[in-house]
Every structure is written in C-alpha cells, then in structure tokens.
Amino acid sequence: MRYGVTKQEIAFEEREVAEGVMLYKRDRSRLWQARIRRVTGKWISISTRTDDIEVAKEFALQRYREMKDAQARGDVDIVRKFADVAKLTMKELEAELASGVGRQANRDYMMVIRGWLIPALGRYPVHKIGHAQLVQLDQYRTEKLQRKANRSTINTHNAALNRVFRTAIARGLMAPVQIPALINNGAKPNPRPYFDEDESRLILEKLPEFIERGHKDCSKVIRELLVDYVSVLYNTGMRPGVESLNLKWNQIKRIAVFRDGVDAEGDSPSTLKFAVVGKKRPRTLVCRDIDGNVSGPLKAIQQRFEELKDLPEDMLFKQDEYVFRTREGRVPNHQRLTKSFKLFLRWLGIEKDAHGNTRTLYSLRHTYATSGLVQDMSMETLAAQMGTSRPMIERHYSKLRPEMKVVELSGWRERAKTSAAPAIDMSNVVKLLTEQNQMLIQRIEEIARESRVIQT
C-alpha cells in the first residue's frame, strides 16, 4: 500500500468505480491497482492482484466499505504493523539528522527501534499495542539483558516508542487515545563505576606502554590515538563517542583563566575551551589544562599530520578538521576505541570495580564528575560543564562514599591546617614575661622596705 499517490504516477487506463474509488493500471503491468480516498482526503494505492476488471472492482469496493466502517466506529481505517511504522520512523529520524535538526537522541532512538522494539513488537498492528504487548517487551528486554533493565534504559526505550506512535498518529494509522500508558519498573540505578585517584594515575602512566603490546599495525594506530583520547576525556568530562569524536580544531579556543588576565602573582594563566554538540544542544566546556593535560595530547595529535605540525596554535584552531583522527587521517569507530580500552583495563586488572561493575570509556566521564564533587565543585557548575542536569548529577554521582572524604573524616585536614599555620616565636614571649616578672619582684621589695620604715 502506498500513500499520497499522484496523478503523474498513474497510467492513462483509469476507471472510476465509485466516488472516492478508482481502478488503474501502471505502465508495463497487467494487474489492476485500486486508489481509495481516505477521510483525511489523501489517496492510498492498493494492488488488487488481478487482471480481471470485475474481480478488481469487488475487491476495491470491499476495501472501501471496510475503511468506511472503521471510520464510523472511530477506529483506524488502515492497519499497519508496528514494524512498518517503526521503519518509517527511522527514516524520519535519519532525515532530521541529515538536515541538521536532529539530535544525538535520534541515533539512540534508531538503535532502540532496530534492536529492541521491532524484534519484540514488530508483528503487532501498531494501533493494537497495549499493556499485554508492553509486558512482552519488558520480558524480551530482561531475557536479552539477562537482568532487569535500569530505569534510564527503559526511559530511552519509552521515548523511542512514543516517537513511533507519533509517526502512526501523523499518518492516520493510530488515534491519540490508543497510545498505551507506558510503564517503567526498571531497576534502581547503581552508582556509576569510576576510577579512583591511584587507578587514574596508573591508567595515564601505562597507556603509552600499551601501544607496543599491539600485534598488528592497525591495533597500534588505534592505541596511539587512545592515549591522547583518554587524557582529554579524563580532563574534560566529555562524552565518549559522538560528542568527542565530532570535535574539530576550529571548535577549540585558548582563553584566560582570570578576567583581568593576571593572577595574584602577576602570571597570566590560560586554558582551553571546547565548543561541543551534546545530546540535546551545543555547549562550551572548559578543559582542566593546568599541567598541559589537554594541550599536550592535542599537540601530540597535531604532530602526526604534515599539514598541521608546523602551524602555530592560533592557526591550528582555525582548521576545519576532526581532532581525533588516526595518523592515517580517519576518524575511528567508537566501538574500536571502546574495545581497545576494554583490553587495556583487562591487562591492568581493573576492568571491574570493587562492586563488580564493568568499567568502560564512559567511566572516565564518571570519574570526572566524582572528582569534581570530592573537590567541592558545585553541582550547577558540574552540570553545565558536563551538559547534563543537576537532578542527573544528584541521581548518579552524589553518593559519595566515606573513603572519598577520608582526609576530612579522619581529622587530618584540621591537623594539616594546624601544621601549615605559621609557628609562633615563643622566645620573645618568654623574654617579655621574664622582664615583667623581675619588675614585679623589684616593686614588691620596694613596698616591703617602705613598710619597715613606717613601722620604725
């Protein structure tokens, strides 16, 4: 069945069966096609699968009566399977991305539709999706994951499901009242896995060594880029994947740390800022580059390209080229970087945290958030830097463990403050007290002599 058939697509052999019902033949086809006008005014095209004009007429009229009856009942007049509407939705999402109006969420929705919704719900009519089908989706999800899905995962699935329903409604394949109440009985999220200070230091120290452990040149090329990629993620809180891999040189700028450009000691410190496109909207983030933690890796990447290596920084930051490219000039697939980092963590023996949670490249972002909270960075500042919301920060990162604040809880911070305070020079105090004591003794002796004279 086709929507919005135009006159230009119809051959000259055309016959009117009834008002709103036409039969026609396409060029180079002997079978009759039926055109039926819906209540919306749009025409649909249906193959009658016959070359007999009388049989074709009966088929078209029967289909027309079924559509009219459905309209009279307030039901949809055309039945489409969920899989068909879901595929139309993915085309819409792809078109939005191609036109520049789509968001990162579009890619997430397409992945969910393709990998989860179509396999679980594809065979059902879209307007018949109800509570029973949603329960089946939940069961399918649990079986595939081999655990209960987290609430955030189900929220994404529900958002993708709503997008399919919107497409169905827009095409008259579903009424708004037929949208089922979506459920979310997902598992309560655990604190996200991160790296502690010692593990972070180990990662940054051992990554260069990991390059030479690759057996193939293609592996070494990816690992070479991974060294710089990890350092930048660790010091910016950027999302791995689309957000970071789409960064270009002309989206980087050097800025002064202080408004007047000079600190208390007369120095002029600066740092870098990135203009990135997050899940929902563009944002600017400031890099933690106090020791060259970001500019150093960027310099290493620059030196791999002949056309970039001799450029001064101000010219480098005008280049319309992706930053994270292999020395061959290709932006790597995120999955390759993820797999390489997984092998690296396994080699170090820190792939899982103490609670059994698997760490990934995303754990670098969680590490940034956790360290920011430990250093008393406000949640508003952290949320703005990471391109998320304060509730998300509170939900996933605010569960500070006692060992994160060991200095404060052990009392050593107060001890350190006391130790750091300038020592008082007690020698002068002792000298002053000695002098005052001598003067007091002399005065007492004088009073005693005066008393003896009065008595005599």
Q: pLDDT tens digit string along 289-316? A: 988 999 999 999 999 999 999 999 999 9
- Cβ-Cβ contacts under 8 Å for 28 (sequence gap 6 or more): none
- pLDDT bin (cut points 50, 70, 90) of residue 3 is very low
Q: Are 172 and 78 in contact (CB under 8 A)?
A: yes
Query: What confidence score (pLDDT) does residue 424 get?
Result: 41
pLDDT value for 295: 95
Residue 49 pLDDT > 70, yes or no? yes
Comparing C-alpha atoms, which of 140, 141, 127, 134 is closest to residue 85?
A: 127
Mean pLDDT of the chain: 83
Query: pLDDT (tens digit, 9 = 90+) per residue, 330-339?
Result: 999 999 999 9
The residue to which tokens 């993708």 are assigned: 160
Rounded mean pLDDT of 136-159?
A: 92
Rounded average pLDDT over 225-245:
94
* Concatenated DSSP letters of 264-326: TTS---EEEEEEEE-SSSEEEEE---TTSTTHHHHHHHHTT-TTTTT--HHHHTT--SBSS--
107-120 pLDDT, tens digit each: 889 999 999 999 99
Using a 10 angstrom Cβ sphere, with 0-12 exposed, 13-18 middle and 19 or more buried, the burial of residue 441 is exposed
pLDDT of residue 331: 94
- State residue 65's pLDDT score: 81
DSSP state of 211: H
pTM equals 0.63
pLDDT over 70 at 36, yes or no: yes
pLDDT: which is higher, 376 or 227: 227
Lowest mean pLDDT among 11-25, 95-109, 178-192, 291-305: 11-25
Q: Which residue has the tokens 């592996």?
A: 219
Tell me which amino acid residue 186 is. Answer: G
pLDDT given for residue 260 in this prediction: 66
Query: What pLDDT is stored for residue 444 in this prediction?
Result: 64
Mean pLDDT score, 216-220: 90
Contact 274, 292 (CB under 8 A): no
Q: Which pLDDT score is estimated for 263?
A: 57
Q: What is the dihedral of CA 413, 414, 415, 420, to 10 degrees?
A: 90
Question: Could you tell me how many helices (H) and strands (E) the chain has, helices first?
Answer: 18, 8
Dist. CA 320–CA 249, nearest whole Å: 6
d(CA 179, CA 87): 18
The three-class DSSP label of residue 1 is coil
| Range among 191-195, 264-268, 438-442 rated most confident | 191-195
Tell me the one-letter amino acid at 368: Y
Q: What percent of the chain has pLDDT over 90?
A: 45
* Mean pLDDT score, 360-369: 93
In this structure, what are the phi and psi dihedrals at residue 37, rounded to the nearest 5 degrees? Answer: -90, 125
Q: Which fold has domain 197-406?
A: hpI Integrase; Chain A (1.10.443)
Query: Residue 426 has what pLDDT?
Result: 46
Judged against a pLDDT cut of 70, whether residue 189 lies above it is answered with no
| pLDDT tops 50 at residue 422 | no
- Using the Cα atoms of residue 245, residue 247, residue 248 and residue 249 in order, give the sign of their dihedral: negative
**Mean pLDDT, residues 394-411:** 55
Residue 6 banded pLDDT, cuts 50, 70, 90: very low
Q: Which residue has the higher pLDDT, 79 or 269?
A: 269
pLDDT of residue 398: 58
At 298 the pLDDT is 97
Residue 44, pLDDT above cutoff 90: no
pLDDT single digits (tens) 250-278: 999 999 887 665 555 656 788 999 999 87
Counting residues of the chain whose pLDDT is more than 70, the rounded percentage is: 79
Q: Which residues pair with residue 286 across a beta bridge?
A: 273
Q: Which of 179, 166, 231, 185 lies closest to 205, judged by CA?
A: 231
- Structure confidence at residue 28 (pLDDT): 79
